[in-house]
Structure 1
């Protein structure tokens, strides 16, 4: 393959990968407007629906390491295909389950599809980035954020237009499959992916072969930083509205404005992120982004004015936006660790922060206060900045 043909193939693969990130964002966010319908259908209280939602997270987290093995055997393109079909099939079926047990099983299946797509698309995105030799991970995650905004708005629009929730979910599922199939052929095949991986990964030594790859120091380091970064996103998602209502006195109908401000800021910054990463070092992106996030938490905790509080949400979104894409990019270039091992490990640890982190914050808030719990989250982001600063000085 000559250089011009390779460039065309790489560009097509990049656009195809962007579409997959959009598909994943659409799929996950389309579930959120369905939660009230499921709650009413099954007659559940808040604690019961919260317990059910744990099965979604459990499916995602348990499938992530398995996905790494599947990628090494089948290639990420085939895994994306299968996982998208699973996610899209499970989405409308969630509205047909008539007992908590069957709902838990279907949520586990839906979460498994989501988790598998997430790992596979990030692994594929890293290889496309390596092949194109320029940053693309931030814009990929930006398309995921755009999908998150469009999914919740889209299914809400279909329902308000008179479509039954089940048929609205079917329509979204069909859209997900069509988008995925339309881009399948332009994604990197397994052989090309292996060649790119071999080019950018140092072959593991015999000593390393005897070790558990997940326990590699750099994998654990990036995973721990991802945990802290994802926890800040989970804090905004699960506690932002409650914080505005109970701490700042915002009326309930407007309490979601904080997360909306955070989401828009994050989406915009991720779409601009590739240009930023190409102009400044990844260390600057992580350190400055973390400190901007810390400043955001400071504003939203201590400001008595709603406008300034919302500016805090925006700053957290701006600061956190491009940190995780940098970690995934670095995970795809680790010495001695194939990306099919590093990316699932880092993703799993990160999503543990997003899923388990809000529970940790709830525990802290119950024993202290929600502002204190948010302060703890800001402290973790500050430690991310310090840790990455120390790492950058050693390299």
Structure 2
């Protein structure tokens, strides 16, 4: 049985997971905000950017797939620390391959490490966040994801500043990598060891289940139909979020002729809007219910993406970016929250649901890049509109299970 936590330990645990979410967001936006610079420095096309993203996506799938094994074998604490070290190293290598030893191959290696580490840590930090949510009996996963978005706001803002000041990609990514490493060690020191999360509490306990047994339990969620129903809900919104992170800056800088700096600023607008809704999201969901909120936000996201595609001027493009961020803000965290409705199986279900959403988040954008070379980037974004609408139509899958109070809304 897990140890009873004091209020102080709970606060430190929650703060540590906030920091890990923020570090992940910081790393993602650092890469995303410098895509135009990396493209220019390496002299590559959208299709090649798409292939870089595909390599990152494949590595992320490996990270996601191995996360259950890592949790079962080492626990989330050690797993998160290792994953953060890996993706910080990847961030630094992206800069090395862009400026120090210009090579698309080195950038691919960096993106592979970046993708693997982020894929693994995404599952583990959501498992931890869902456990905290269940512990306090309130919808707070959107707030954890707000810190991911806060990290993307800081990352996109620093990216815009670096682009304006002419700071090269290597100098930028090296500083970010060091910050992530420092944050990783400080945060993990404040995450409590929990047996249900696979952390080693007593290696000599007679009744302690073996790691293979824990792995079998964690994989059981993949046999449940509700896992896939929640996956449909998360698919469209994760596609929309990942599409914005990887292609919004490029769409504004090139297709809307705004330039590199305005492209980074558009991504910042998207991230700020997403962060604001995630901060307010918990109380809204507890008041109106998961399903109603998801349906409204699906309409908002679709409208925002359409405005980015069709707007005749940059001010309207920025309005569209804001609506896009608002609409895409809660799909992923509410899917996680729904997966955690049953505390007995929360870790396994959250892990499975996070995998589905994250595959869409990382593997969708590379496909968009390949398609965009044939029909144009803005036309490609119509795919996101269709997927967001599908997510809204499937939102009833997020209805809380019988007896669950978190996210139920009015009665």
**Out of 133, 143, 167, which is 1:129 matched to?**
133
Q: Which residue of 1 aligns with 2:210?
A: none
Confirm or deny: 8 A CA contact 2:94 2:111 kept in the other structure: yes
Which sits farther off after the overlay, 27-36 or 64-73? 27-36
Which sits farther off after the overlay, 273-282 or 133-142? 273-282
Q: Which residue of 2 aligns with 1:216?
A: 224
RMSD: 3.7
Please tell me whether residue 266 in structure 1 is matched to residue 270 in structure 2. no
Confirm or deny: 8 A CA contact 2:253 2:259 kept in the other structure: yes
1:159-184: CA deviation from partner (whole Å, max 9, x where unpaired): 97797754543332222122222222
Q: Which residue of 2 aligns with 1:24?
A: 24
Please tell me whether residue 178 in structure 1 is matched to residue 182 in structure 2. yes
Alignment of 1:83-232 (within 5 A): 83-97=83-97, 98=101, 99-154=103-158, 166-191=170-195, 193=197, 213-232=221-240
1:298-328: CA deviation from partner (whole Å, max 9, x where unpaired): 4445554654443232222112211211101
Q: Which residue of 2 aligns with 1:348?
A: 355
Q: Shift of the alpha carbon at 1:393?
A: 11
Q: Shift of the alpha carbon at 1:193?
A: 4.1
Confirm or deny: 8 A CA contact 2:242 2:365 kept in the other structure: yes
Confirm or deny: 8 A CA contact 2:60 2:359 kept in the other structure: no
Please tell me whether residue 276 in structure 1 is matched to residue 310 in structure 2. no
Q: Shift of the alpha carbon at 1:376?
A: 3.9
Please tell me whether residue 69 in structure 1 is matched to residue 77 in structure 2. no
Please give the alpha-carbon distance, in whole angstroms, between the structure 2 residues aligned to 1:191 and 1:101: 41
Q: Shift of the alpha carbon at 1:288?
A: 1.6
Q: Which residue of 2 aligns with 1:198?
A: none
Confirm or deny: 8 A CA contact 1:7 1:132 kept in the other structure: no
Please tell me whether residue 293 in structure 1 is matched to residue 301 in structure 2. yes
Q: Any idea what SS the aligned residue of 1:189 has?
A: coil
Q: Which residue of 1 aligns with 2:340?
A: 332
Q: Shift of the alpha carbon at 1:133?
A: 1.5
1:186-219: CA deviation from partner (whole Å, max 9, x where unpaired): 2131326469xxxxxxxxxxxx98x964242111
Question: TM-score, normalization: structure 1?
Answer: 0.81
> Which structure 2 residue ranges, 5 or more long, are not aligned?
200-215, 403-411
Q: Quick one: structure 1 residues 360 and 5, their matched pair in 2 at CA, closer, same or farther if it must change by over 3 Å? A: closer
> Which structure 1 residue ranges, 5 or more long, are not aligned?
196-207
Q: Which residue of 2 aligns with 1:311?
A: 319
Please give the alpha-carbon distance, in whole angstroms, between the structure 2 residues aligned to 1:299 and 1:285: 21
> Size of the alignment, in residue pairs?
380
Please tell me whether residue 379 in structure 1 is matched to residue 386 in structure 2. yes
Q: Which residue of 2 aligns with 1:6?
A: 6
Confirm or deny: 8 A CA contact 1:72 1:340 kept in the other structure: no
